[in-house]
């Protein structure tokens, strides 16, 4: 079910970890693999359960640690919605999120550069942005239940 990392992905992982002086561990490889295998913005718990299939005995605390590490070295993004559990997303291209209220699913929405540019322009001059989060909430009209 869960594939191994392909060379390219393994390289990004190793590179990102190396760059911030951290070690490569089996746990980290598996957690990263799980994240790439199914890009449905899983919660920590979901990642944990999926990873357990490959590595029984993995601990929840470690999953928290791994994900935090990845966020720290820019490999994945956190996705927060209201007060729900944090979700994780390995899509690094700038994008927004759409949360379907009826299914709870989160969809990536590509974010044109112009809009990002315009957005930063509405800030007062002395405000320096580090991250922008844009999230929509609503419903998808059936038909193409993407």
Partner DNA sequence: CTTGCAACTTGGAATCATTCCAACTCATTA
Partner DNA sequence: TAATGAGTTGGAATGATTCCAAGTTGCAAG
User: Which residues would be at the binding site for DNA (CB under 7 A)?
Assistant: 17, 22-28, 43-45, 55, 57-62, 64-66, 68-69, 83, 85-86
> CA-to-CA distance for 25 and 38, rounded, in angstroms?
21
Residue 22 binding a second copy, by CB under 8 A: no
**CB-based contact 107:97 (threshold 8 Å):** yes
Identify the DSSP state of 56: T
Q: Which is nearer to a second copy, 8 or 83 (CB)?
A: 83
Residue 58 binds: one of DNA, a second copy, none (C-beta under 5 to 8 A by kind) = DNA
Residue 117 binding a second copy, by CB under 8 A: no
Residue 144 binding a second copy, by CB under 8 A: yes
Interaction with a second copy in 75-94: which residues (CB under 8 A)? 78, 80, 82-83, 86
Q: How far is the CB of 9 from a second copy (least distance, A)?
A: 27
Residue 3 binding a second copy, by CB under 8 A: no
CA nearest neighbour of 58 among 73, 72, 45: 45
Angle, CA of 116, 133 and 40, to the nearest 5° = 110
Interaction with a second copy in 39-78: which residues (CB under 8 A)? 78
Q: How far is the CB of 111 from DNA (least distance, A)?
A: 24
* Residue appearing with tokens 């919605």: 81
Distances (CA, A) of 125 to 115, 121, 131: 18, 8, 16
């Amino acid at each position: 079910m869960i594939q191994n990392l392909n060379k390219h992905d393994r390289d990004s992982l190793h590179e990102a970890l190396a760059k911030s002086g951290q070690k490569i561990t089996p746990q980290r490889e598996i957690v990263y693999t799980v994240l790439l295998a199914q890009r449905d913005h899983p919660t920590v718990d979901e990642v944990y359960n999926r990873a357990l299939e490959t590595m029984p005995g993995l601990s929840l605390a470690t999953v928290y640690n791994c994900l935090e590490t990845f966020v720290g070295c820019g490999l994945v993004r956190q996705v927060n919605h209201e007060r729900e559990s944090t979700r994780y997303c390995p899509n690094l291209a700038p994008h927004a999120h759409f949360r379907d209220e009826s299914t709870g699913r989160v969809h990536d929405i590509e974010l044109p550069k112009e809009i990002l540019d315009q957005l930063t322009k509405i800030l007062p001059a002395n405000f320096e942005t580090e991250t922008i989060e844009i999230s929509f909430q609503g419903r998808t009209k059936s038909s193409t239940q993407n």
